[in-house]
Amino acid sequence: MAMKQTIAIIGAAGRYGAEFAKALATGPYRLLLMDPNQEALPAIQKEISDSGRQPDVEMISCCKEASWESDIILFTLPFSERDHLVAKMQEVVTRKTVIFLLEKPEENALALLKKQLPYSGIAIVAMYLPASAGNSERISGNDAEATHTARNLLQQIHINEIISSLY
Amino acid sequence: MFELFFTHINQKVSLTAAEQNEVKTYFTPKKLRRKQYLLQEGEVCRYFAFVEKGVLRSYNVDHKGVEHMIHFALEGWWMADIYSFLSGEPSNYNIDAIEDAELLMITLDSFEQMMVQVPGMERYFRILFQNNIISKERRLISSISYSAEEKYIRLAESNPELLQRIPLNLIASYLGITPETLSRIRKHLSQKN
């Protein structure tokens, strides 16, 4: 029996976060949903539960706690909310994979994130690229394991279909 | 997060502040909730884990579905299936949390890199493994030479905290006796005292 990995979705009530949460809930994962807008999370959790599956999904109010419990962190919040939350999680994500979803191109994004999280494996997913883009074009990173993990997750959840539905 | 970890290490070796900062970069902090697995049978043991908080157990399950306790790890103890960790072979063990736990975990690659970068850690692990060999020998002698009551008394003397925090059915399994026998031994000893 394969071990169940825990994924923290930071920004799980947002546009991307909610779609990723619903898609990942079908996989062999334990999901921890965190969002600064906590009031919006129960609706997402209910939507996942109502889909008839028996997902292992839990809401969590603190970004650091969610990241501490997780093997993989999926950060889906926009740039404006990134810095202070990344600073909070920094000490509990050493040697973990942290995947950042970018809604628009950012200059030096990887270098800046690497500076903030020097001991984490970072993967960046360019959500602004069209649905037709391949995962090798969409994903960049500083660590082979992190980009491999990101590629696997994106394949499992059919990222191109999610992007088509969002735009 | 690393307080107990460095207290424990500095009891055996002396690391500079710079070395401690370097060591921190090799470890992944992880919280486990009660009953969550660190390792399941059939998987490769990817991590050697130091327990900062909580209690872990390792055990195997026989063909009848009976669990056999192999080790427990309280705060300040290490836990892994060391054979699987070092060889990369799938494990025959399960490791899970008896209490909510906070761990510091290291992979084999990081473990090897750390030994090269911080030689004090190599000395620390040599001492740790020496002590582990002695403890395993004592457990083997206990298991083949002592009566059930002697085994229990020696465990109570050497690790009284285990008896406070681990359910008695798991202690019985660890000693290789039935819960009923353990219950009788405890009753007998309390009457003697």
Q: Tokens 């001991």 appear where?
A: A119
Query: Which of A95, A97, A114, A117 has the highest number of chain B CBs within 10 A, making it the mutation to test binding with B?
Result: A95
- How much is the average pLDDT of A18-27? 90
Whether pLDDT at A1 is above 60: no
How far is it, in rounded angstroms, from Cα A122 to Cα A118? 9
Query: How many residue pairs from chains A and B have C-beta atoms closer than 8 A?
Result: 37
| Contact assessment for residue A150 and residue A74, using Cβ atoms and an 8 Å cutoff | no
Min distance A111 CA to chain B CA atoms (Å) = 19
Is pTM, for the whole model, over 0.95?
no
Best of A3, A68, A88 to disrupt the B interface (most B CBs within 10 Å) is A3
Shortest Cα distance, chain B CAs vs residue A34, angstroms: 16
Q: Residue B25: list chain A partners with CB under 8 A.
A: 94, 118-119
The rounded Cα A117 to chain-centroid distance in angstroms is 16
Between β-strands A97-102 and A72-75, what pairing exists: parallel, antiparallel or unpaired? parallel
CA distance A78 to A100: 10
Q: Residue B94: which of B80, B74, B75, B73 has the closest Cα?
A: B80
B1 interface with A at CB cutoff 8 Å: yes
Residue B191: both structure tokens together: 């009457």
CA distances from B149 to A49, A81, B146, B155, B167 (A): 51, 61, 8, 10, 18
Q: Which residues of A touch B39 (CB under 8 A)?
A: 3
Name the burial class of residue A37, with classes exposed (0-12), middle (13-18) and buried (19+) by CB atoms within 10 angstroms of its CB: exposed
How much is the pLDDT for A53? 66
Are A94 and B25 an interchain contact pair (Cβ–Cβ within 8 Å)?
Answer: yes
Q: For residues A38 and B6, give the distance between their C-alpha atoms in angstroms, rounded to a whole number.
A: 37
Average pLDDT, chain A: 90
Instruction: With CA atoms as reference, report the closest residue to B75 among B16, B7, B173.
Output: B7
Looking at residues A147-163, what average pLDDT do you find? 88
User: Using CA atoms, how far apart are residues B20 and B14, in angstroms rounded to an integer?
Assistant: 10
Is pLDDT above 90 for A131?
A: no
What is the mean pLDDT of the segment spanning A1-7? 80
- Does residue B20 sit in helix, strand or coil? helix
How far is B150 from chain A, CA to nearest CA, in Å? 38
pLDDT mean over A20-28: 89
What does the pLDDT read at residue A52? 63
For residue A5, what are the β-bridge partners?
Answer: A29
**How high is the pLDDT of residue B130?**
95
Contact check, Cβ <8 Å, B26/A95:
yes
Question: With 70 as the cut, is the pLDDT of residue B51 above it?
Answer: yes
For chain A, percent of residues with pLDDT exceeding 70: 97
Q: Which of B1, B22, B30, B35 should one mutate to test binding to chain A, selecting the residue with the greatest count of A CBs within 10 A?
A: B30
- Comparing CA positions, the residue from A8, A68, A67, A62 lying closest to residue A32 is A8
Residues of B in contact with A119 (CB under 8 A): 25
Question: What pLDDT does residue B171 have?
Answer: 96
* Complex prediction ipTM: 0.89
Q: Residue B143's pLDDT is what?
A: 86
pLDDT one-digit tens code per residue, A92-107: 999 999 999 998 998 8
Of A68, A86, A87, A74, nearest in space to A8 by CA: A74
pLDDT tens-digit profile of A41-91?
Answer: 999 888 888 876 677 899 999 999 999 999 999 999 988 888 899 999 999
Read off the pLDDT of residues B75-116 as tens digits, 9 standing for 90 and up.
999 999 999 999 999 999 999 999 999 999 999 999 999 999
- Chain-centroid distance of CA A32 in Å reads 10
DSSP A141-167: ES-HHHHHHHHHHHHHTTHHHHHHHH-
Q: Which residues contact B105 (CB under 8 A, 6 or more apart)?
A: B27, B28, B29, B30, B38, B47, B48, B49, B50
Of B31, B33, B40, the CB nearest to A3: B40
Report whether pLDDT(A111) > 90.
yes
Which residue stretches of A6-143 are H helix? 15-24, 41-50, 63-69, 82-89, 109-116, 135-138
Whether residue B24 lies within 8 A of chain A, CB to CB, comes out as yes
Closest CA to B109 of B26, B49, B22: B26
Helices (H), ranges, chain B: 3-10, 17-24, 82-87, 108-117, 119-145, 148-158, 160-165, 168-175, 179-192
A5-10 and A72-75 beta bridge pairing: parallel
State the pLDDT at residue A152: 92
Cβ–Cβ under 8 Å, residues A86 and A75: yes
> Under a CB-based contact definition with an 8 Å cutoff, are residues B55 and B98 in contact?
yes
